[in-house]
């Protein structure tokens, strides 16, 4: 499947930040979260899932409009967003332990 920006899924680093609560935007369990999630590792997780992706570095998370942490846009493939997020979280945790 090819990347189409109009229907791509947006993945924010805030989804994987262990210091955030669910109300503040964390989307995965704390055992799949890290401190200061990195866009490159999120993109690596998307690549390991064989998803087309695009890294946007100057984007702001809607709940934190002053912090330009960026985001990763991935293709909408055979997996849903709720299936993609835990797998990328596993990649983040593995790379933090190295």
In this structure, what CATH number is given to the domain that contains residue 71? 3.30.56.30
Q: 16: burial class by Cβ within 10 Å (0-12, 13-18, 19+)?
A: buried
Query: Is 2 inside a domain boundary?
Result: no
Total domains, the chain = 1
Query: What's the predicted TM-score (pTM) here?
Result: 0.90
Inform me whether the pLDDT recorded for 85 exceeds 90.
yes
**Nearest 5°: phi and psi at 62?**
-55, -35
The H or E element containing residue 63 is: none
Q: Hunting for tokens 């299936």 — which residue is that?
A: 83
- pLDDT tens figures, 23-82: 999 999 999 999 999 899 999 999 998 999 999 998 999 888 888 899 999 998 788 999
Question: 68 lies in a domain?
Answer: yes
H or E element, residue 45: helix 39-48
């Amino acid at each position: 499947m090819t990347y189409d920006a109009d229907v791509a899924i947006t993945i924010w680093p805030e989804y994987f930040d262990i210091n955030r609560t669910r109300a503040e935007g964390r989307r995965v369990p704390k055992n799949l979260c890290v401190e200061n999630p990195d866009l490159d590792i999120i993109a690596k997780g998307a690549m390991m899932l064989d998803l087309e992706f695009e890294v946007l570095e100057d984007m702001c998370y809607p709940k934190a409009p002053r912090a330009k942490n960026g985001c990763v846009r991935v293709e909408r493939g055979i997996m849903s967003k709720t299936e993609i997020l835990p797998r990328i979280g596993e990649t983040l945790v593995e790379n933090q332990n190295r």
